[in-house]
Structure 1
Amino acid sequence: MPNSIKELQEGNINWVRNTLRMKPDFFERLSEGQHPKFLWIGCADSRVPATEITNALPGSIFVQRNIANMVVHTDSNLLSVVNYAVKVLKVKHIIVCGHYGCGGVKAAMSNEKLGFLDNWLMHIKDVYRTHEEELNNIKDDQKRFDRFVELNIIEQVGNLAKVSFVQEEWETGEFPYIHGWVYSLKDGLIHDLNVSMNSNDGLEKIFRFNPSNITA
């Protein structure tokens, strides 16, 4: 694990050399443009890099990361990424991937003051409030934590489905599909939570946009 800026720079040089050894035209082709089929909305945790844990090459996955892989409808950064992904890149799949042991989710379970971060954690606390009965009935602390991680991912999948321009894409085809995945730091495996969506059929009526009222 690198401990200095110099080590990161040297690591870059070694990576380029090794990549060119295996694929001499890799960077030339990469510079011609990106055509990813996937958008990854993940946690900012340094232990969960999208391409590494899926064994994917650079250019394969368009990525947006934040604390606890949240989809907040007032987050212009995230919405800009999603809009570009579905409208310009025409990604086929959007993956919301959280991970067990998420520090943001853990912090949201407590009443500890963390300063500015508390404003972001409020969105995660809202997920707990929504599922409070189920979570409070789980007596084992670790199991409750793990379930909260899963429920947070599921809620963010639903939040993505509520975005107007995502629903607009569904009016003209089956894509993008939205998936909810959870990653285990203990064994490195990704688990599908089986909550995939490619229509607004599962949403409450108030969140379903009328096609005639949706603008690009």
Structure 2
Amino acid sequence: MLSDLFDHNVRWADGKRREDPDYFKRLSALQSPEYLWIGCSDSRVPANVITGLEPGEVFVHRNVANLVHRGDLNLLSVLEFAVETLEVKHIIVCGHYGCGGIRAAVDGDRHGIIDHWLQPVRDVADRHAGELAGIADPEKQQNLLCELSIKAQVESLSRTPILRSAWKRGKSLAIHGWVYGLKDGLLRDLDCGCGKSHGAPGCEEITAAAPAGREGQDD
């Protein structure tokens, strides 16, 4: 029942005020997160909960299979606001093992409009067809595809004009590719990040080498 949600909300808010009388006053005064989280819509992967961060400490954008469509005005609006107004220092693209979007992208069935959204996953699967075909276990194969897709989204994000402009102006900003395990609750760094302050090859170097005309295309 929807009334249960309101009851839970009252108990939660009362509990927070008992623990810290100024909690909501402080929270409402300022939003200054250091992190932008681009994650999957899956309800089992709440950014604040699995990272131990408080509301206000992470700015969140979620969509099915945590994809970076460079024509997605929703994502681009979030990205621009996070970079230019909130001045986040880290952008985390986080997928998760057991992702239904990853599975639906390559199961050969028709799922409706979501099939168009998931095309970048199929493109990644096509590019790595040989590597994926060498894995007999279906779960391990999908886990690898999940990781490969996250890496592709990090690269796609690094090629957006918003980030290219930010790096050109010297902003300290890094992108990271992480994956979350539903079975153990742990985050893993896929070591595919880049950008200033990361210590890895700069994304600005990657974007400078991008072929002409690629900026407006989706992976």
TM-score of the two chains, using structure 2 as the length reference: 0.90
Whether 2:163 is the aligned partner of 1:166: answer: yes
Aligned residue identity for 1:188: G
Distance 2:138 2:57 in 1: 37
Contact 2:101 2:118 in 1 (8 A): yes
Q: Comparing 173-182 with 45-54, which one deviates more in the overlay?
A: 173-182
Q: Given the alignment, which residue of 6, 23, 32 partners 1:26?
A: 23
- What residue in structure 2 maps to residue 183 of structure 1? 180
Q: Given the alignment, which residue of 202, 207, 214 partners 2:206?
A: 202
For each residue in 1:161-215, what CA deviation from the matched residue of structure 2 results, as whole angstroms up to 9, or x when unmatched? 0011101111233521100110001011111111111022235723589xxxxxx
Contact 2:65 2:101 in 1 (8 A): yes
Q: Comparing 175-184 with 115-124, which one deviates more in the overlay?
A: 115-124
Q: Given the alignment, which residue of 1, 8, 11 partners 2:8?
A: 11
Distance 1:67 1:18 in 2: 33
Whether 2:63 is the aligned partner of 1:66: answer: yes
Deviation at 1:82, TM superposition (A): 0.3
Aligned residue identity for 1:160: L
Distance 2:168 2:89 in 1: 14
Distance 1:77 1:131 in 2: 29
Distance 2:30 2:90 in 1: 19
Matches within 5 A, 1:38-77: 38-77=35-74
Whether 2:140 is the aligned partner of 1:143: answer: yes
Aligned residue identity for 1:34: Q
Contact 2:93 2:178 in 1 (8 A): yes
Whether 2:112 is the aligned partner of 1:108: answer: no
Q: 1:42 to 1:208 in 2, by over 3 A?
A: farther
Q: 1:131 to 1:113 in 2, by over 3 A?
A: same
Structure 2's unaligned 5+ residue stretches are 196-202, 214-219
Deviation at 1:55, TM superposition (A): 1.1
Q: 1:68 to 1:96 in 2, by over 3 A?
A: same
Distance 2:80 2:111 in 1: 32
Distance 1:128 1:192 in 2: 21
- What residue in structure 2 maps to residue 213 of structure 1? none
Contact 2:164 2:207 in 1 (8 A): no
Distance 2:13 2:34 in 1: 24
Distance 1:28 1:206 in 2: 46
Deviation at 1:15, TM superposition (A): 1.1
Secondary structure of the corresponding residue to residue 206 of structure 1: coil
Aligned residue identity for 1:175: S
Aligned residue identity for 1:23: D
TM-score of the two chains, using structure 1 as the length reference: 0.91
Structure 1's unaligned 5+ residue stretches are 210-216
Secondary structure of the corresponding residue to residue 154 of structure 1: helix
Secondary structure of the corresponding residue to residue 88 of structure 2: coil
Contact 1:100 1:149 in 2 (8 A): yes
Distance 2:41 2:162 in 1: 25
Deviation at 1:60, TM superposition (A): 0.6
